[in-house]
Structure 1
């Protein structure tokens, strides 16, 4: 009976083991993405406009990518804590950000080196939606429209105040843009959120305020506050009865909104980026998603928007306002 040389057996075993080791990395590299749950970070507490966008996108991406997509709320520093987490995360596609202009384009301008990330620390996947802000008057302000507001404020410089949800927020910048365009002098009061602004407007302790449209709509529709105009260049399709401020020649250059974008860490691999971009574009074209966004006051972004170019343009716009009003934290 023939026998096999022990040295040949050892050599065959060694070659077999080497082949197995060589195959293991290739198998790992070829593992499809995504193969585990994805986390979308939102830099605000639950219930706000950024959170609502994050959760709506998470549901749609989960259905299209075939894995759970979990929303993690990390509130603090005007969205910057959540953004910092994503900027520092591994670029593997499993940690993403649904962020707004506050933390992505404004925060660095008003906080300088206190913010440890920049736009370049993210991969811009796509714009999700936007909505205007709305300038409102309290019932006690004694004005019913933008013309009356302009006359009253311009003839009483420094007498009146407007409120926003904080220093360096998009709402603050919108108020300063109105002041700059109309050559108006009003005092800015920074509040800690929508609720205290509303309380002071309804109690006639504050004459004017700036809301995100979705937050202001219930109070406008109930007649508790008066809408003077929205802040984007054209009227919102959600509120065609409210004029855009830019329709008045004095405020023709007022064009600022709140927007929401899907971002990943810098250097996201192209195959991962491509899958995320495809899933997001399909989401933006979904009638159900569009309806949900419009009901919340938002306009869904076009899939053709180049987010990198959009961000660069927005930063230039905000820097002009920040420099004019000398805003800093």
Structure 2
């Protein structure tokens, strides 16, 4: 039988309408109607994972669907972040990331093929300060001693962090830049090896996330010199900010966590997620969990566009000063 185009005429309006319909993932009127995945770019157990699980638990209650955490570790969080930056913009794949994978990694590694611009920001979740510590064998007990001693003997002292280009590495380099110090960086594969060398005096100073360092500080195994945020932490108010010292008055850097979605997320879904996250941030159970972990819950309605631009510019200055490249 020959094809007769006239037979299609009654159906042409339907064909045209189907062609104009947006892809299935762009339908927003029923969102969400199935489980949501929150990708965390690190193995279970760390501060990013803890924050991600706390957010997922509360988001599930606010959105009425299961919200599950998927740990996609590797490359300092970049593998998980890259996965989300390439995911369908349907609101069912999200990233709970820290400043490392969202804003820093791209500045130090040409192999990272995404930037913070490759996400739709949902919102800032929380932040936690870092803390500069000294080995008890160094004999240094105050920030003033630290600045004076290191400055008087350039190149003699070493500090450790959890790796090249991490927020902890950048915090120490920011202190070096502001106070005019010269000391060598020793990257470690985690808190455990760094702690061992601090205890033994192999390395003079170290930078911890505050929650990771508190047990060592309070046991007297290392000496806390100061936190890296300008304000005192509610979990350890006895530790003064490094910025209280005149040579470090502009030092203000933290580890922060944000909820991000793939680019081009429909506005209706973005609005739904932002509303749900705002409700999460005000939930007493969530706030207590964050505070117990040494984190401060983010204020509502942070302008994430402005925040990410300013944070990335701050990190770029440190990276350029320290010539950090991988």
1:114 to 111, 114, 117: 111
Partner of 1:284: 281
Partner of 2:300: 303
Inter-CA distance 137–30: structure 2 relative to 1 (3 Å threshold): closer
Inter-CA distance 196–30: structure 2 relative to 1 (3 Å threshold): closer
- 1:304 deviates by 2.1
Partner of 2:80: 82
Is residue 266 of structure 2 the alignment partner of residue 255 of structure 1?
Answer: no
Deviations 1:178-216 (A, max 9, x none): 111111110000111111111111122111000011111
3-state SS in 2 of match to 1:114? coil
Task: State the distance in 2 between where 1:236 and 1:328 align.
Answer: 31
Inter-CA distance 181–31: structure 2 relative to 1 (3 Å threshold): closer
Task: State the distance in 2 between where 1:154 and 1:115 align.
Answer: 35
3-state SS in 2 of match to 1:188? strand
Is residue 222 of structure 2 the alignment partner of residue 225 of structure 1?
Answer: yes
| TM superposition score normalised by structure 2 | 0.91
Q: Greater CA radius of gyration, 1 or 2?
A: 1
Is residue 299 of structure 2 the alignment partner of residue 270 of structure 1?
Answer: no
Partner of 1:235: 232
Task: State the distance in 2 between where 1:88 and 1:290 align.
Answer: 31
Partner of 1:128: 125
- 1:287 deviates by 1.5
Task: State the distance in 2 between where 1:55 and 1:187 align.
Answer: 36
3-state SS in 1 of match to 2:319? helix
- Residues 279-288 or 80-89, more deviating: 279-288
CA contact (8 A) 2:28 2:268 kept: no
Deviations 1:219-251 (A, max 9, x none): 111111110000011111221110000011110
| TM superposition score normalised by structure 1 | 0.91
2:212 to 215, 220, 225: 215
Inter-CA distance 197–30: structure 2 relative to 1 (3 Å threshold): closer
Task: State the distance in 2 between where 1:141 and 1:239 align.
Answer: 23
Is residue 170 of structure 2 the alignment partner of residue 187 of structure 1?
Answer: no
Partner of 1:97: 95
Task: State the distance in 2 between where 1:124 and 1:41 align.
Answer: 14
Is residue 51 of structure 2 the alignment partner of residue 60 of structure 1?
Answer: no
Instruction: Give the number of aligned pairs.
Output: 310
Task: State the distance in 2 between where 1:291 and 1:306 align.
Answer: 24
Deviations 1:100-130 (A, max 9, x none): 110111111111x311111111000000000
Task: State the distance in 1 between where 2:140 and 2:121 align.
Answer: 42
After the TM superposition, which parts of structure 1 deviate over 2 Å for at least 4 consecutive aligned residues?
A: 28-31
Q: Which runs of 5+ in 1 are unaligned?
A: 1-13
Partner of 2:69: 71
Task: State the distance in 1 between where 2:171 and 2:145 align.
Answer: 19
3-state SS in 2 of match to 1:106? helix
Q: Which runs of 5+ in 2 are unaligned?
A: 1-9
Deviations 1:245-300 (A, max 9, x none): 00111100111000000000001111111111011000111111111101100000
Partner of 1:5: none
CA contact (8 A) 2:28 2:266 kept: no
Task: State the distance in 2 between where 1:120 and 1:242 align.
Answer: 36
Is residue 31 of structure 2 the alignment partner of residue 33 of structure 1?
Answer: yes
Deviations 1:148-174 (A, max 9, x none): 112221121111100011111100000
Partner of 1:7: none
Partner of 2:3: none
